[in-house]
Chains A and B, each alone.
Chain A
Amino acid sequence: MSGKTILELRGVTRTHGKGAAEVHALRGVDLVVRAGELVAVMGPSGSGKSTLLSLAGGLDSPSGGEVVIEGTTLASQSKAQLAAIRRRSVGYVFQDYNLIPALTAAENVSLPQELDGLSARKARVAALAALAEVGLRAEADRFPDEMSGGQQQRVAIARALIGERRLILTDEPTGALDTETGEAVLRLLRRRCDEGAAGVLVTHESRHAAWADRIVFIRDGLVLDESAPLQHAEDLLVGDEAQP
């Protein structure tokens, strides 16, 4: 858990619009996520969770402060360098899945690796393995519009987990999943973090946030505080119900 720092946000702000229409989506957020760590982010709708995640993944630029991934300040990177970091180091699950409609499930998953120069055949083998992990081996050659919402969501997860991604950013990755499938996805994410990736999980579901090492609460663009496990599970299991 005391792995090296993979993601760091320093005093990050993000303002949309101008004048009267100005929205302060983030108002100064500091966050460190280390290798081996899964951090959950919880907060009401509109509190800035997706904004935080897209800044962390280099999909959007902060209005102030800086985002650092594995020691590289994103603002210092060219567009091409940034794209390479996003492909190689960052796995991203979008709140709305963001699959490419003209590509099959397997092609959606293999695309980032192919863009990175892996042969089409090798990329497909890796994609099929990743799809199998999320229980979609049989759906590999379907197009997004031939799949249910939950299946599309799992394709997006497979795409984020493929390869050697050291930073995995997920925005409501279990929104469309039933409890069992949702839990399977969380176990997968947890395992990747246990194997050394750094993960951020935005979720409304406390049951899923509970798989994280820390839960960060965000309100109105600011980090309110965070919770960690009590780490005395055995005592805790006794709880208040101990009385017969």
Chain B
Amino acid sequence: MSVKHSLLAVLADGERYGYQLRAEFEERTGATWPLNIGQVYTTLNRLERDGLVEPAGQDAANHVFYRITDAGRDELFSWFARPVTRAERPRDELAVKLALAVTVGGVDVAAIVHAQRKHALAALQDYTRVKARLDPAELAASLVLESMIFQSEAEIRWLDHVEARVLRHARESQTTRVERPADPGSAKGGRGAAPTDGDTDTATRTPRTTATARKGKTI
């Protein structure tokens, strides 16, 4: 999330001082991303240095007002026009965690998936409650909330998919082990080294590991 552009967006409406900027940003985005006031001031300093905002005097209570410059307005509108790239989003911690989980022996991936799904659903229930209370006229806040709702939904759908895949893979590698010891599909990673301890669990986990981990990278 770009604090810089968020502040420019609020300033595009008129002059504001630091606390007002923070309050208004939070109001417009449904209090989804709290800003701390320090962040607001450092960002304002940087914006001023870059000529995107300028000071606009003080009131009786010594609040320093800022106003957006023409350059700031240009910057804001070109930001709106630019698509958000994957690289700007936080790395997907969950995908990384699951990719690692399938590579570590003795981890119950299905249990991890289910715990995550429960958490995501509980979050979704929370968002939905907020949404049910929200006045539909509050468009900005509804949009942010709905984006979180759809993201949770996508995460849950993906988790269902992971679970189904892991289970299928476990089943298939069990069959593989019994009937087709050299399945070219799951062995080509070179990590499917035959388990030596004869433990069924390990035997089924090893090939699953490679395929799912590989998949994890492409998500």
Q: Which chain B residues numbered 124 to 141 have a C-beta less than 8 Å away from chain A?
A: 124-130, 132
Q: How many A-B residue pairs have CB under 8 A?
A: 88
Which secondary structure characterizes the binding site on chain B?
Answer: helix
Given A187-B132, A233-B130, A244-B1, the answer on whether A210 and B32 have CB atoms closer than 8 Å is no
- Distance between Cα atoms of A210 and B129 in the complex (Å): 8
Q: A229–B39 contact, CB under 8 A?
A: no
* Chain A min CB distance to B139 (Å): 15
B122-160: CB near A (< 8 Å → 1, else 0) gives 111111111010000000000001001110110011001
A233 contacts B127, CB within 8 Å?
A: yes
A186-208, CB < 8 A from B: 187, 190, 205-207
Q: Does B1 contact A239, Cβ atoms closer than 8 Å? A: no
With A and B bound together, what is the CA distance between A225 and B126 in angstroms?
18
Residues of the B chain whose Cβ atoms lie less than 8 Å from the Cβ of A212: 125
Q: How far is the CB of A33 from chain B (nearest CB, A)?
A: 17
A84 contacts partner chain B, Cβ-Cβ < 8 Å: no
Bound CA span A240–B92, Å: 11
A20 is an interface residue with CB less than 8 A from chain B: no
Is A26 part of the binding interface, using a Cβ–Cβ cutoff of 8 Å?
Answer: no
For the complex, give the distance between the alpha carbons of A215 and B117 in Å: 11
- How far is the CB of B86 from the nearest CB of chain A, in Å? 15
Residues of B within 8 A of A205 (CB): 153
For residues 202 through 244 of chain A, which have their beta carbon under 8 Å from a beta carbon of chain B?
Answer: 205-207, 209-212, 215, 217, 224-225, 227-234, 236-244
Instruction: Name the 6 nearest CB pairs between A and B, nearest first.
Output: A229-B125, A210-B124, A210-B128, A233-B126, A206-B156, A227-B118
| A interface residues, Cβ below 8 angstroms from B | 44, 187, 190, 205-207, 209-212, 215, 217, 224-225, 227-234, 236-244
Pull 11 A–B residue pairs with CB atoms less than 8 Å apart, ordered by A. A206-B153, A206-B156, A210-B149, A215-B121, A224-B114, A229-B122, A237-B145, A237-B148, A240-B93, A244-B2, A244-B35
